Structure 1
Amino acid sequence: MANVLTIRGGVPLAGRVTVRGAKNLVPKAMVAALLGNEPSVLRNVPEIKDVAVVTKLLKLHGVAVTKDPVGGDLTLDPTHATQASRADIDAHAGDSRIPILLCGPLIHSVGEAFIPDLGGCRIGDRPIDFHLSVLRKFGAVVEKGNAGIHITAPRGLQGAKLELPFPSVGATEQVLLSATRAEGITELRNAATEPEILDLIAILQKMGAIISVLTDRTIRIEGVKSLGGYQHRALPDRIESASWASAALVTRGDIYVEGARQQDMMTYLNVFRKIGGAFDIDDAGIRFYHPGGKLSPLVLETDVHPGFMTDWQQPLVVALTQADGVSIVHETVYENRFGFTDALVRMGANVQLHRECLGSVPCRFGQRNFLHSAVISGPTQLTGTDIDVPDLRGGFSHLIAALAATGTSHVTGIELINRGYERFTAKLEALGADFDLTPIDQ
């Protein structure tokens, strides 16, 4: 059911929230269970839409998925995996891009795969063509039809040598999930090495895979004939942790994020401190707070790990609207990630978008006519307005802005936020936010 979130801003957020397993890892870990010949157990699983979508897709393919009623752990049993009907896959995939990552495991386990037309957040070019190219290099036969794509591998998947034009997380995941049971050796150059990728590799190693991560962004996978199950606790969501940190900064609040982990957030923590935010770290989490005084502007470029994560950028831009001076943010990962700033400008922010690379190094978007650099002048007083959420991270950024603004904001499309933020309205309530959630008449 669609809802509207009515937010009365100007209240500092204060209290405690808990962050569980990473959205960018958990669905892929669930898919990895398909590669095994025995059940797997995944712990620290968040209640988010992407988990629900993958659960449905796995069940359609004969994987038994059971949830522990107390801890929420998932047991995934692939021993009776089978091919699902195309109509059912199309009906349950929704706007998720996860189905493309099922292809390799499904070919290994049932001999074929089908993926419908894919959706996802409108933040930039995420073509599946490269995924299909990877699968072809492994020996897959790709047949495109009106409703989607049918993929088979008459000779089984074969190891391959590949090099990514950009260290894409999704493409790296595709290679890992396809190569672990492929015949022979796979070498992937210019691979992504994000913490979520390394956690997925840890899962595959527990299952029996042989994977080496070299120092030059090369990943080497020695294919094995079969894999077992795994027991694994998913690493915490560093994106959600940083989002709550930005919320504390923008609202001049004080939020303890249980589950936040320093080693996955060191780049973010440096930037948070440079702006003027404060944090205290202990074994269970991180306390983020506004210590008083002015916030400082800065020049920032997003990058692949270990650089400043693109998913951290949007909530931080909201904080930069409150910094005393001019900040510059150069987005180098997704070319259309500044669309969310339209709502910020309507709220009173001073944000100018530019096609030029306003950073130290020209990026791949510099000659392609994309508005991928932002100049933010502050501080500006934000005022409430009507907002329709454009995408997952931009939507949460809009919530932060509305919570800091004077007056009332009405936010629609919040269902998108459920894709990656577990029970976010309950967490807002626990932090003292002033809001109402009401159904929209259809």
Structure 2
Amino acid sequence: MTTSSSSLHITGGTPLQGHVTVRGAKNLVPKAMVAAILGSSPSVLRNVPNVADVDIVTDLLDLHGVRVKREPGILTLDPSEVDRAEADQINVHAGSSRIPILMCGPLLHRLGHAFIPDLGGCKIGDRPIDFHLDALREMGAEVVKKPEGLYLSAPQRLHGTKIELPFPSVGATEQVLLAAVLAEGKTELRNAATEPEISDLIAVLQKMGALITVQSNRTIRIEGVDELQGYDHWALTDRLEAASWACAALATKGDITVLGAEQGPLLTFLDVFRRVGGKFNINDGGDGSPKSIRFWHPGGDLTAMALETDVAPGFQTDWQQPLVVALTQATGLSIVHERVYENRLGFTHALNKMGAQIQLYRECLGGSTCRFGQRNFLHSAAIAGPTKLNAAELEVPDLRGGFSYLIAALAAEGTSTVHGLDLIYRGYEDFLPKLERLGASFQPA
């Protein structure tokens, strides 16, 4: 039985066992789709997951005249007839995605103007677009604010410049890359993000003909070119989804093999997973079989630990929420210091309702200070365990928090009701059929 219901009754207490397949990264695929606008010929993107974010970006590209042909796991994107979309058409997608801001650079190059509606995304903290707009202004864009959104124009070709980000923002780094590759002259970006998805986007742009040099000190140099071609690219596997299934195995005392998972992008997570007591086995595909990682709970007690999130190559903030559920079952006191999004620990209130013992603090716990330490945000957590989790009624707060609630419900005693599952469809492909294959017990609410 599978369902697309936005609410589920989930009966916990059964270890998840079996295998799931994870495809292209949700944090790369939509950006690679946007990059296709820059090409003078069609692009082909492979290993594409069937998630809501791909649907949203497909609609946005279609509004701008990009023809998108969809086959299972493959997108062909033809930008030969890129055109202006009306503000009211774009505003249909207002609040559902933050991708429109990343379309600005490519559209300024192709059309000389762009429009940004109200942006959506998960409510996990302040994610201003100031970094984006400041970078575009420095490259020659003009920004006009109107009631329906922001209008950008570039009367002249965008030009290279020197930019230093106040924080290594993934989105702002992507913005500069997408805008600078066709800009006149050279762009130097300092304090850039270095996530694997950034590296994969750079690989896409390099295939198109871009000149990009990545240095070891978070500096990226881009030399603008006059024309880019289409690309043919296999998207890297979603390391964030792979880690979510690993945490589900740990919290439910299960055994899950994630097909498609690769060791390299998960190095930091795997170290933490082992320290907390989980076991894993890596198949790097050397024998001709698909790459995969098997994650399992070996029995016995899990180990409490101190953890701080950080930008890559640190422990990713998107790994934190699923792992916190597993840490409620660890023996001792765990400390989690969230250093990327100030409100990402808000989801723990529901876990406490289920029986967890989690206390939030405004102080920077864990050994180092961060930019939230003096700003009155509850961004550190002390988790005492192990605690028995009991069924509860839950409302999905955001993408990773929502998946974490699923894990908690599957680990709890009794039947929980989880509402607002639509958010999870943004980043997890076929997650209900996958849960079914792993032996989870659920039904539409």
TM-score normalised per structure 2: 0.97
Matched, 1:42 2:45: yes
Distance (Å, rounded) in 1 between the aligned partners of 2:156 and 2:186: 16
Partner of 1:314: 321
- What's the offset of the Cα at 1:3? 2.3
- Secondary structure of 1:382's partner? coil
User: CA–CA distance in 2 between the matches of 1:211 and 1:158?
Assistant: 15
**Map of 2:288 onto structure 1:** none
| Distance in 2 separating the partners of 1:379 and 1:237 | 30
CA offset digits 1:64-96 (Å, max 9, x no partner) = 00012xx42000000110011111111134420
Q: Distance in 2 between matches of 1:190 and 1:3?
A: 40
What residue number does 1:149 align with?
150
Rounded to whole Å, the distance in 1 between the matches of 2:18 and 2:325 is: 21
The match for 2:104 is: 103
Per the TM alignment, residue 130 of structure 1 is displaced from its structure 2 partner at its CA by 1.8
Take 2:420 and 2:335, find their aligned partners in 1: how far apart are those partners? Answer: 29
Alignment correspondent of 2:377: 370
The one-letter amino acid of 2:365's match is L
Moved over 6 A (4+): none
2:83 alignment partner in structure 1 = 82
Question: Residue type of the partner of 1:310?
Answer: T
The question of whether the paired residues in 1 share the 8 Å contact of 2:131 and 2:165 is answered with no
CA distance in 1: counterparts of 2:366 and 2:216, whole angstroms: 26
- Is 1:20 aligned to 2:27, yes or no? no
Residue identity matched to 2:107: L
CA contact (8 A) 2:399 2:427 kept: yes
The residue that corresponds to 1:256 in the other structure is 257
Q: Which residue of 2 aligns with 1:340?
A: 347
Retained in 2: the 8 A contact 1:13–1:253? yes
The separation in 2 between residues aligned to 1:192 and 1:147, in whole angstroms, is: 31
- The one-letter amino acid paired with 2:254 is G
Distance 1:14 1:404 in 2: 13
1:55 and 2:58 are equivalent in the alignment: yes
Q: Distance in 1 between matches of 2:95 and 2:60?
A: 10
- In structure 2, give the amino acid aligned to 1:115: I
| Contact map agreement 1:2 1:413 (CA 8 A) in 2 | no
Greater shift, 129-138 or 218-227, is seen at 129-138
TM-score by length of 1: 0.98
Alignment of 1:186-201 (within 5 A): 186-201=187-202
Distance 2:168 2:116 in 1: 24
* Candidates 394, 406, 431, aligned match of 1:399: 406
1:257 deviates by 0.2
User: Counterpart in 1 of 2:309?
Assistant: 302
State how far apart, in whole Å, the 1-side matches of 2:362 and 2:326 are: 22
CA distance, structure 2, for counterparts of residue 258 and residue 85 of structure 1: 42
Deviation sequence 1:158-195 (CA, Å, 0-9, x none): 11100011111000000000000000000000000110
SS in 1 for 2:189: strand
Percentage identity across paired residues of the two chains = 67
In structure 2, what residue type is equivalent to 1:17?
Answer: V
The aligned counterpart of 1:422 is 429
Aligned counterparts of 1:196 and 1:4: Cα–Cα separation in 2? 31
Superposition deviation, residue 2 in structure 1? 6.0
* AA of the residue aligned to 2:25: A
Give distance in 2, aligned partners of 1:93 and 1:437.
29
CA shift, 1:128, in A, is 1.1
Q: What code does the residue aligned with 1:103 have?
A: C
Deviations 1:323-380 (A, max 9, x none): 0000000010001000100110000000000000002211111010100000000000
Residue type of the alignment partner of 2:306:
V
Deviation at 1:110, TM superposition (A): 1.4
SS in 2 for 1:324: strand
Aligned-partner residue type, residue 46 of structure 1: P
Provide the rounded CA distance (Å) in 1 between the counterparts of 2:96 and 2:200. 25
Secondary structure in structure 2 of the residue aligned to 1:20: coil
Which whole-Å CA distance do the structure 1 matches of 2:132 and 2:69 have between them? 30
Q: 1:323 aligns with which of 330, 333, 336?
A: 330
1:220 lines up with 2:227 in the alignment: no
Is 1:294–1:324's contact at 8 Å kept on the other side of the alignment?
yes
Assess if the C-alpha contact under 8 Å between 2:5 and 2:444 holds in 1: no
**2:237 alignment partner AA:** P
Equivalents in 2 of 1:119, 1:64: separation in Å?
Answer: 24
Q: Distance in 2 between matches of 1:194 and 1:260?
A: 16
Following superposition of structure 1 onto structure 2, how do residues 236-251 of structure 1 map, counting pairs within 5 Å? 236-251=237-252
- Secondary structure at 1:383 match in 2: coil
CA offset at residue 421 of structure 1?
0.4
Counterpart contact for 1:113–1:151, Cα < 8 Å? yes
Q: Say whether 1:169 aligns with 2:170.
A: yes
What whole-Å deviation, never above 9, does each CA across 1:5-63 have from its counterpart, x for those lacking one? 11000010000100000000000000000000000000000011110000000000000
Contact 2:94 2:118 in 1 (8 A): no
Instruction: Report if aligned partners of 1:199, 1:234 keep a CA contact under 8 Å in 2.
Output: yes
Give the secondary-structure state (helix, strand or coil) at the position aligned to 1:339.
helix
Aligned twin of 1:130? 131
Partner of 1:293: 300
SS for the counterpart of 2:344 is coil
Equivalents in 2 of 1:129, 1:304: separation in Å? 19
* 1:386 paired residue among 393, 404, 420: 393
Distance 1:403 1:149 in 2: 43
Q: 2: distance between equivalents of 1:223 and 1:3? A: 46
How far is the alpha carbon of 1:437 from its aligned partner?
A: 2.1
CA distance in 1 between counterparts of 2:5 and 2:343 reads: 26
Tell me the amino acid that sits aligned with residue 41 of structure 1.
V
The alignment's C-alpha RMSD in Å is 0.8
CA displacement at 1:4 relative to structure 2: 1.1
